[in-house]
Amino acid sequence: MKRLLVLLLASMMLFAFVACDDNTPTPAPHEHEFGEWTITKEATCTEEGVRTRTCKGCSETETEAIPAKGHNPDANGKCTACGKMIVSNGADFLKATMNEGEVIISLQDDITIDIAPWRDTNDKSVFGTASTTSIVVEGNGHTITFHNTDSDWNAIYTKNEDAVLTIKNATIDNSGYNADDGPWNSHDITFDCNVVLDNVTATNAIAIGKNAEIRNSRISDANCTQDAYMLWIQATGQTVTIENCIISGKSSTGNKNRAIKIADEYIDEPKAVTLNVSGTTFSSDSKAAVLVTNTAGATINWGEGNDISGVAADKVNAVWNDSARTDAIVKVSGCKVIQEPSA
Protein backbone atom coordinates (compact mmCIF):
# COMPACT_ATOMS: atom_id res chain seq x y z
CA MET A 1 0.00 0.00 0.00
CA LYS A 2 2.86 2.35 0.87
CA ARG A 3 4.56 1.53 -2.43
CA LEU A 4 1.36 2.43 -4.31
CA LEU A 5 1.08 5.78 -2.57
CA VAL A 6 4.76 6.54 -3.28
CA LEU A 7 4.30 5.72 -6.97
CA LEU A 8 1.15 7.88 -7.17
CA LEU A 9 2.90 10.84 -5.51
CA ALA A 10 5.90 10.49 -7.85
CA SER A 11 3.60 10.46 -10.88
CA MET A 12 1.87 13.61 -9.73
CA MET A 13 5.17 15.39 -9.19
CA LEU A 14 6.35 14.35 -12.66
CA PHE A 15 3.12 15.62 -14.23
CA ALA A 16 3.47 18.95 -12.45
CA PHE A 17 7.05 19.27 -13.64
CA VAL A 18 6.11 18.57 -17.23
CA ALA A 19 3.20 21.09 -17.05
CA CYS A 20 5.48 23.82 -15.71
CA ASP A 21 7.94 23.10 -18.46
CA ASP A 22 5.31 23.48 -21.23
CA ASN A 23 7.04 24.88 -24.30
CA THR A 24 3.84 25.47 -26.32
CA PRO A 25 4.55 28.54 -28.50
CA THR A 26 2.54 31.76 -27.85
CA PRO A 27 0.22 32.55 -30.78
CA ALA A 28 1.39 35.48 -32.90
CA PRO A 29 -0.69 38.70 -32.40
CA HIS A 30 -3.57 39.22 -34.85
CA GLU A 31 -2.63 41.49 -37.72
CA HIS A 32 -5.58 43.41 -39.15
CA GLU A 33 -6.33 42.98 -42.80
CA PHE A 34 -8.75 45.78 -43.63
CA GLY A 35 -11.16 45.63 -46.50
CA GLU A 36 -12.13 48.39 -48.91
CA TRP A 37 -13.21 51.83 -47.68
CA THR A 38 -16.95 52.48 -47.49
CA ILE A 39 -18.25 56.06 -47.47
CA THR A 40 -20.58 56.42 -44.49
CA LYS A 41 -21.08 60.18 -44.87
CA GLU A 42 -20.59 62.09 -48.08
CA ALA A 43 -18.46 65.23 -47.94
CA THR A 44 -20.21 68.44 -48.98
CA CYS A 45 -18.89 71.79 -50.08
CA THR A 46 -18.45 72.92 -46.48
CA GLU A 47 -18.56 69.79 -44.29
CA GLU A 48 -16.17 66.85 -44.00
CA GLY A 49 -17.37 63.39 -44.85
CA VAL A 50 -16.49 60.04 -43.22
CA ARG A 51 -15.30 56.70 -44.64
CA THR A 52 -15.00 53.38 -42.79
CA ARG A 53 -13.33 49.99 -43.35
CA THR A 54 -13.52 46.70 -41.40
CA CYS A 55 -10.89 44.03 -40.67
CA LYS A 56 -11.55 40.78 -42.57
CA GLY A 57 -10.42 38.67 -39.60
CA CYS A 58 -12.26 40.45 -36.77
CA SER A 59 -14.80 43.19 -36.22
CA GLU A 60 -12.28 46.00 -35.76
CA THR A 61 -13.21 49.13 -37.76
CA GLU A 62 -11.21 52.15 -38.83
CA THR A 63 -12.65 55.57 -39.75
CA GLU A 64 -11.14 58.48 -41.61
CA ALA A 65 -12.32 62.01 -42.44
CA ILE A 66 -12.95 62.97 -46.03
CA PRO A 67 -12.01 66.63 -46.68
CA ALA A 68 -14.81 69.06 -47.56
CA LYS A 69 -15.01 69.57 -51.31
CA GLY A 70 -15.15 73.38 -51.31
CA HIS A 71 -17.40 75.43 -53.55
CA ASN A 72 -17.02 75.31 -57.32
CA PRO A 73 -18.71 78.48 -58.62
CA ASP A 74 -19.52 78.88 -62.28
CA ALA A 75 -19.12 82.12 -64.25
CA ASN A 76 -22.22 83.56 -62.54
CA GLY A 77 -21.00 82.70 -59.04
CA LYS A 78 -23.31 79.73 -58.55
CA CYS A 79 -21.73 76.62 -57.05
CA THR A 80 -22.14 73.70 -59.43
CA ALA A 81 -22.35 71.26 -56.51
CA CYS A 82 -24.71 72.85 -53.97
CA GLY A 83 -26.41 75.54 -56.04
CA LYS A 84 -25.57 78.37 -53.62
CA MET A 85 -24.43 81.78 -54.82
CA ILE A 86 -20.84 82.33 -53.63
CA VAL A 87 -20.28 85.95 -52.66
CA SER A 88 -17.23 87.86 -51.43
CA ASN A 89 -18.23 91.51 -51.98
CA GLY A 90 -21.23 93.82 -52.02
CA ALA A 91 -21.49 94.17 -55.79
CA ASP A 92 -21.61 90.40 -56.24
CA PHE A 93 -24.18 90.18 -53.43
CA LEU A 94 -26.68 92.39 -55.25
CA LYS A 95 -26.19 90.46 -58.50
CA ALA A 96 -26.57 87.16 -56.67
CA THR A 97 -30.04 88.13 -55.44
CA MET A 98 -31.27 88.61 -59.00
CA ASN A 99 -32.50 85.06 -59.50
CA GLU A 100 -35.94 83.50 -59.53
CA GLY A 101 -37.47 81.44 -56.74
CA GLU A 102 -35.33 80.73 -53.69
CA VAL A 103 -31.85 82.23 -53.66
CA ILE A 104 -29.23 80.98 -51.18
CA ILE A 105 -26.13 83.12 -50.74
CA SER A 106 -23.00 81.91 -48.95
CA LEU A 107 -20.70 84.70 -47.78
CA GLN A 108 -16.99 84.04 -48.03
CA ASP A 109 -15.85 87.36 -46.56
CA ASP A 110 -17.07 90.53 -44.85
CA ILE A 111 -19.05 92.67 -47.29
CA THR A 112 -20.44 96.21 -47.57
CA ILE A 113 -23.74 96.88 -49.33
CA ASP A 114 -24.88 100.36 -50.37
CA ILE A 115 -28.35 101.23 -49.06
CA ALA A 116 -30.56 103.97 -50.48
CA PRO A 117 -34.09 105.33 -49.90
CA TRP A 118 -37.35 104.79 -51.79
CA ARG A 119 -38.13 101.43 -53.36
CA ASP A 120 -39.35 102.83 -56.71
CA THR A 121 -36.21 104.80 -57.54
CA ASN A 122 -33.70 102.73 -55.63
CA ASP A 123 -31.22 100.71 -57.70
CA LYS A 124 -28.85 99.97 -54.81
CA SER A 125 -30.73 98.14 -52.08
CA VAL A 126 -33.68 96.47 -53.82
CA PHE A 127 -32.89 92.77 -53.59
CA GLY A 128 -34.14 90.11 -55.96
CA THR A 129 -36.54 90.19 -58.88
CA ALA A 130 -40.32 90.22 -59.06
CA SER A 131 -40.22 86.41 -59.12
CA THR A 132 -37.73 85.93 -56.26
CA THR A 133 -39.61 84.28 -53.38
CA SER A 134 -36.87 84.17 -50.73
CA ILE A 135 -33.28 85.21 -50.22
CA VAL A 136 -31.31 83.27 -47.61
CA VAL A 137 -27.95 84.74 -46.63
CA GLU A 138 -25.60 82.31 -44.88
CA GLY A 139 -23.20 84.69 -43.15
CA ASN A 140 -20.72 82.04 -42.01
CA GLY A 141 -19.63 84.37 -39.20
CA HIS A 142 -18.89 87.33 -41.47
CA THR A 143 -20.01 90.96 -41.12
CA ILE A 144 -22.51 92.68 -43.42
CA THR A 145 -22.19 96.46 -43.33
CA PHE A 146 -25.13 98.38 -44.77
CA HIS A 147 -23.75 101.68 -46.06
CA ASN A 148 -26.20 104.60 -45.91
CA THR A 149 -25.88 106.59 -49.14
CA ASP A 150 -28.45 109.26 -48.24
CA SER A 151 -29.19 111.40 -45.20
CA ASP A 152 -32.38 109.53 -44.26
CA TRP A 153 -34.88 106.78 -45.19
CA ASN A 154 -32.17 104.38 -46.33
CA ALA A 155 -33.78 100.94 -46.30
CA ILE A 156 -33.50 97.35 -47.47
CA TYR A 157 -36.24 96.24 -49.86
CA THR A 158 -37.16 93.18 -51.90
CA LYS A 159 -38.48 93.66 -55.43
CA ASN A 160 -41.18 91.08 -54.69
CA GLU A 161 -42.87 92.60 -51.67
CA ASP A 162 -43.97 89.14 -50.49
CA ALA A 163 -40.45 87.73 -50.56
CA VAL A 164 -38.60 86.92 -47.32
CA LEU A 165 -35.02 87.95 -46.61
CA THR A 166 -33.26 85.64 -44.13
CA ILE A 167 -29.86 86.40 -42.60
CA LYS A 168 -28.13 83.66 -40.61
CA ASN A 169 -24.94 83.49 -38.56
CA ALA A 170 -23.70 87.00 -39.25
CA THR A 171 -22.94 90.38 -37.70
CA ILE A 172 -24.78 93.36 -39.18
CA ASP A 173 -23.76 97.00 -38.84
CA ASN A 174 -24.05 100.23 -40.80
CA SER A 175 -21.82 103.01 -42.08
CA GLY A 176 -22.17 106.25 -44.03
CA TYR A 177 -24.74 108.93 -43.25
CA ASN A 178 -25.82 109.06 -39.59
CA ALA A 179 -24.21 105.74 -38.78
CA ASP A 180 -23.49 106.91 -35.24
CA ASP A 181 -26.35 109.32 -34.56
CA GLY A 182 -29.59 110.78 -35.86
CA PRO A 183 -33.27 109.77 -35.55
CA TRP A 184 -34.39 106.22 -36.26
CA ASN A 185 -35.28 106.86 -39.91
CA SER A 186 -31.76 107.98 -40.70
CA HIS A 187 -29.69 105.97 -38.21
CA ASP A 188 -31.29 102.52 -37.99
CA ILE A 189 -30.71 99.52 -40.22
CA THR A 190 -34.20 99.53 -41.72
CA PHE A 191 -35.74 96.36 -43.15
CA ASP A 192 -38.70 97.42 -45.30
CA CYS A 193 -39.24 93.80 -46.26
CA ASN A 194 -40.24 90.55 -44.60
CA VAL A 195 -37.15 89.53 -42.66
CA VAL A 196 -35.79 86.68 -40.54
CA LEU A 197 -32.70 87.21 -38.41
CA ASP A 198 -31.29 83.98 -36.99
CA ASN A 199 -28.13 83.96 -34.84
CA VAL A 200 -27.37 87.53 -35.84
CA THR A 201 -25.44 90.12 -33.85
CA ALA A 202 -26.67 93.62 -34.70
CA THR A 203 -24.29 96.33 -33.49
CA ASN A 204 -26.65 99.06 -34.67
CA ALA A 205 -30.32 99.73 -33.92
CA ILE A 206 -32.87 98.10 -36.24
CA ALA A 207 -36.18 99.29 -37.68
CA ILE A 208 -38.82 96.84 -38.92
CA GLY A 209 -41.41 97.80 -41.52
CA LYS A 210 -42.98 94.42 -42.29
CA ASN A 211 -43.27 90.95 -40.76
CA ALA A 212 -40.19 89.83 -38.86
CA GLU A 213 -38.80 86.86 -36.93
CA ILE A 214 -35.74 87.48 -34.77
CA ARG A 215 -34.25 84.37 -33.16
CA ASN A 216 -31.12 83.67 -31.10
CA SER A 217 -29.85 87.16 -31.82
CA ARG A 218 -28.50 90.23 -30.03
CA ILE A 219 -29.31 93.86 -30.78
CA SER A 220 -27.27 96.69 -29.26
CA ASP A 221 -26.10 100.19 -30.17
CA ALA A 222 -23.87 101.16 -27.28
CA ASN A 223 -21.78 103.69 -29.23
CA CYS A 224 -24.62 105.71 -30.72
CA THR A 225 -24.14 109.37 -29.76
CA GLN A 226 -27.88 109.97 -29.56
CA ASP A 227 -30.71 108.25 -27.63
CA ALA A 228 -31.83 105.23 -29.63
CA TYR A 229 -34.40 102.44 -29.51
CA MET A 230 -32.76 99.11 -30.26
CA LEU A 231 -35.81 97.90 -32.17
CA TRP A 232 -38.23 100.36 -33.78
CA ILE A 233 -41.39 98.69 -35.12
CA GLN A 234 -43.27 100.75 -37.69
CA ALA A 235 -47.02 100.29 -37.20
CA THR A 236 -48.01 98.72 -40.51
CA GLY A 237 -50.09 95.85 -39.12
CA GLN A 238 -47.30 93.29 -39.13
CA THR A 239 -46.39 90.47 -36.77
CA VAL A 240 -42.99 90.55 -35.10
CA THR A 241 -41.75 87.48 -33.23
CA ILE A 242 -38.69 87.59 -30.95
CA GLU A 243 -37.30 84.36 -29.49
CA ASN A 244 -34.25 83.77 -27.29
CA CYS A 245 -32.67 87.15 -27.91
CA ILE A 246 -30.82 89.88 -26.04
CA ILE A 247 -32.13 93.43 -26.52
CA SER A 248 -29.40 95.55 -24.96
CA GLY A 249 -30.54 99.17 -24.70
CA LYS A 250 -27.50 100.33 -22.75
CA SER A 251 -25.42 103.29 -23.89
CA SER A 252 -21.68 103.64 -23.40
CA THR A 253 -21.77 107.33 -24.37
CA GLY A 254 -23.95 108.61 -21.54
CA ASN A 255 -27.18 108.66 -23.53
CA LYS A 256 -30.57 107.14 -22.71
CA ASN A 257 -30.96 104.10 -24.92
CA ARG A 258 -34.20 102.11 -24.91
CA ALA A 259 -35.34 98.62 -25.92
CA ILE A 260 -38.44 98.35 -28.19
CA LYS A 261 -40.85 100.94 -29.54
CA ILE A 262 -44.02 100.33 -31.55
CA ALA A 263 -44.74 103.63 -33.27
CA ASP A 264 -46.84 105.19 -36.02
CA GLU A 265 -44.47 108.04 -36.76
CA TYR A 266 -44.56 108.86 -40.50
CA ILE A 267 -47.20 106.14 -41.09
CA ASP A 268 -50.22 107.54 -42.97
CA GLU A 269 -52.62 104.78 -41.96
CA PRO A 270 -51.35 103.09 -38.78
CA LYS A 271 -52.44 99.53 -38.03
CA ALA A 272 -52.26 97.43 -34.88
CA VAL A 273 -49.07 95.42 -34.47
CA THR A 274 -48.75 91.93 -32.98
CA LEU A 275 -45.59 91.35 -30.95
CA ASN A 276 -44.66 87.87 -29.66
CA VAL A 277 -41.74 87.68 -27.22
CA SER A 278 -40.21 84.69 -25.39
CA GLY A 279 -36.88 83.74 -23.83
CA THR A 280 -35.53 87.27 -24.26
CA THR A 281 -33.42 89.41 -21.93
CA PHE A 282 -33.95 93.18 -21.93
CA SER A 283 -31.85 96.06 -20.65
CA SER A 284 -32.30 99.79 -21.15
CA ASP A 285 -31.33 103.17 -19.77
CA SER A 286 -34.85 104.56 -20.13
CA LYS A 287 -38.52 103.60 -20.67
CA ALA A 288 -40.06 100.13 -20.30
CA ALA A 289 -38.98 97.04 -22.23
CA VAL A 290 -41.74 97.86 -24.75
CA LEU A 291 -43.23 101.31 -25.34
CA VAL A 292 -46.35 101.58 -27.52
CA THR A 293 -47.05 104.98 -29.10
CA ASN A 294 -49.12 103.64 -31.99
CA THR A 295 -52.63 105.12 -32.09
CA ALA A 296 -53.86 101.85 -33.60
CA GLY A 297 -52.55 99.96 -30.57
CA ALA A 298 -50.88 96.58 -30.30
CA THR A 299 -51.33 93.01 -29.11
CA ILE A 300 -48.36 91.78 -27.10
CA ASN A 301 -47.99 88.10 -26.23
CA TRP A 302 -45.39 87.80 -23.47
CA GLY A 303 -44.17 84.20 -23.38
CA GLU A 304 -42.00 82.35 -20.91
CA GLY A 305 -38.38 83.10 -20.11
CA ASN A 306 -38.33 86.88 -20.58
CA ASP A 307 -36.16 88.94 -18.22
CA ILE A 308 -36.70 92.68 -17.65
CA SER A 309 -34.53 92.99 -14.54
CA GLY A 310 -32.06 95.09 -16.55
CA VAL A 311 -34.68 97.66 -17.53
CA ALA A 312 -33.86 100.76 -15.49
CA ALA A 313 -37.25 102.48 -15.59
CA ASP A 314 -39.57 99.56 -14.81
CA LYS A 315 -38.63 96.05 -13.71
CA VAL A 316 -42.28 95.03 -13.09
CA ASN A 317 -44.37 96.25 -16.02
CA ALA A 318 -43.02 95.04 -19.34
CA VAL A 319 -45.17 97.36 -21.46
CA TRP A 320 -45.94 101.06 -21.30
CA ASN A 321 -48.71 102.72 -23.27
CA ASP A 322 -47.68 106.21 -24.32
CA SER A 323 -48.90 108.85 -21.89
CA ALA A 324 -50.23 110.93 -24.79
CA ARG A 325 -52.13 108.02 -26.38
CA THR A 326 -54.76 107.19 -23.80
CA ASP A 327 -57.15 106.04 -26.52
CA ALA A 328 -54.78 103.43 -27.96
CA ILE A 329 -55.79 99.83 -27.30
CA VAL A 330 -52.87 97.79 -26.00
CA LYS A 331 -53.72 94.17 -25.27
CA VAL A 332 -51.22 92.03 -23.38
CA SER A 333 -51.02 88.43 -22.22
CA GLY A 334 -48.40 87.09 -19.83
CA CYS A 335 -47.23 90.51 -18.63
CA LYS A 336 -48.43 93.84 -17.26
CA VAL A 337 -49.10 97.09 -19.10
CA ILE A 338 -49.48 100.56 -17.58
CA GLN A 339 -49.87 104.08 -18.88
CA GLU A 340 -46.46 105.66 -19.25
CA PRO A 341 -45.68 107.56 -16.07
CA SER A 342 -45.45 111.32 -16.47
CA ALA A 343 -41.92 112.64 -16.50
Q: What is the pLDDT of residues 50-91, one digit of tens each?
A: 999 999 889 899 999 999 999 999 988 999 999 999 999 999
What are the structural domain ranges in the chain?
A: 33-70, 72-175, 205-343
Give the tens place of pLDDT for each residue, 258-278: 999 999 999 999 999 999 999
Measured CA to CA, the distance from residue 1 to residue 326 in angstroms comes to 123
Which amino acid is it at 283?
S
Amino acid type, 81 = A
**Cβ-count burial 294-333 (b if 16+ within 10 Å, e if not):** bbbbbebbbbeebebebbbbbeebbbbbbeebeebebebe
- Mean residue pLDDT across the chain: 91
In the three-class reduction of DSSP (H, G, I as helix; E, B as strand; rest coil), residue 311 is classed as strand
> In the chain, where does DSSP find H-type helix?
2-20, 90-97, 184-187
Contact (CB, 8 A) for 205 and 232? yes
C-alpha span between 103 and 167 (Å, rounded): 12
For 204-228, the pLDDT digits (tens) are: 999 999 999 999 999 999 999 999 9
Residue whose C-alpha is closest to residue 311's, from 248, 219, 252: 248
Q: What is the pTM (predicted TM-score) of this model? A: 0.86
Q: What is the largest CA-CA distance in the chain?
A: 126
Distance CA 162, CA 193 (A): 8
